Structure 1
């Protein structure tokens, strides 16, 4: 007759495999040690990036349409763009500009604005994106931007972030400045 092992009996031999609880305890100890050493390494002071991809502090404000997807910086609200060398008056008309962006300028935004008496009355934006993630950001931006800028004075139409698309928003501002320059030059008498 052979003896059947009892599952309730624990072996005290040194060759026995550790219990599940023992393995979990060992994993917990090792994990705690790793996390602790990782946190110790993180105690150094972090230095924010200072390049074209670094963000800037902003606060949420609703757009003129009440859309909370628009973020304005304090500089945008001031309407002071005197440092950009562009000033009105602006000639009525429809103006277009395209700007490229990305590490190798692989993405683009095409902006067409209609201006009447210095106010944006119509806005059309399209995008060309290389990667699917960029295409999603551009698509969200295109869907939201019209409600953000239409009805605004062209000098006060700079944006910070619309629909979470920070790079697309910054590129829109470059196109807006090109359009402001076109409309200002069109209003300046030649001679």
Structure 2
């Protein structure tokens, strides 16, 4: 005779969340994805929201993006919470000339990783073409990179010439 014991509901929910976080972690570490690659829908949180904070209104030379400053919010899941970061990019001639990232960590560990990410992101993106930006890990933070990439994708959509 086989005996089964019911697993308490909090344990089932925790296990499910851990599984989702594991998948998100693996997806964030995959790297090499381009904006044309199909990506599974993120059921944990909306991808990002954006609004240009100011634009010059003129297209840069023969570029694909309008010059200006754009802001978007990217979200990503951790084992403890859903985190957000605000990303502001200044674009001139299809090139990122400035970046500012502001975190809003919900978990203690997220505070550390967001801080490290914010400290290292400038050297990864400033001076690069907007279409070339896709970070996978900055200063040891791979999950924050996923939120950043989602925000950048939203900014690309908003800045299209």
Q: TM-score, normalised by structure 2?
A: 0.64
Instruction: Name 2:4's counterpart in structure 1.
Output: none
Provide the aligned C-alpha RMSD in A: 2.4
Instruction: Name 1:8's counterpart in structure 2.
Output: none
State the alpha-carbon separation in 1 of the partners of residues 102 and 26 from structure 2: 24
Match of 2:36 among 63, 75, 82: 82
Q: Between the two structures, name the one with larger relative contact order (CA 8 Å, sep ≥ 6).
A: 2
Query: Any residues of structure 2 matched to 1:132-147 within 5 Å, and which?
Result: 132-147=108-123
Q: What secondary structure sits across from 1:177 in the alignment?
A: helix
Q: Could you tell me how far 1:55 is from its partner in structure 2? A: 5.5
Higher CA-based Rg:
1
Query: Any residues of structure 2 matched to 1:36-75 within 5 Å, and which?
Result: 51-54=23-26, 73=31, 75=32
State the alpha-carbon separation in 1 of the partners of residues 139 and 25 from structure 2: 17
Match of 1:95 among 41, 59, 70: 70
Deviates more, 1:104-113 or 1:120-129: 104-113
Moved over 4 A (4+): 55-58
Q: What secondary structure sits across from 2:26 in the alignment?
A: coil
Q: Could you tell me how far 1:106 is from its partner in structure 2? A: 3.3
State the alpha-carbon separation in 1 of the partners of residues 102 and 83 from structure 2: 11
State the alpha-carbon separation in 1 of the partners of residues 159 and 27 from structure 2: 30
Match of 2:130 among 127, 132, 154: 154
Q: Could you tell me how far 1:105 is from its partner in structure 2? A: 5.5
Q: What secondary structure sits across from 1:81 in the alignment?
A: coil
Structure 2 unaligned residues grouped into runs of 5+: 1-20, 39-62
Q: TM-score, normalised by structure 1?
A: 0.54
Task: Work out whether residues 75 and 150 of structure 2, in 8 Å CA contact, stay in contact via their aligned partners in 1.
Answer: no
Match of 2:98 among 99, 122, 133: 122
Alignment CA distance shift 1:57-1:167 (3 Å): closer
Alignment CA distance shift 1:57-1:94 (3 Å): closer
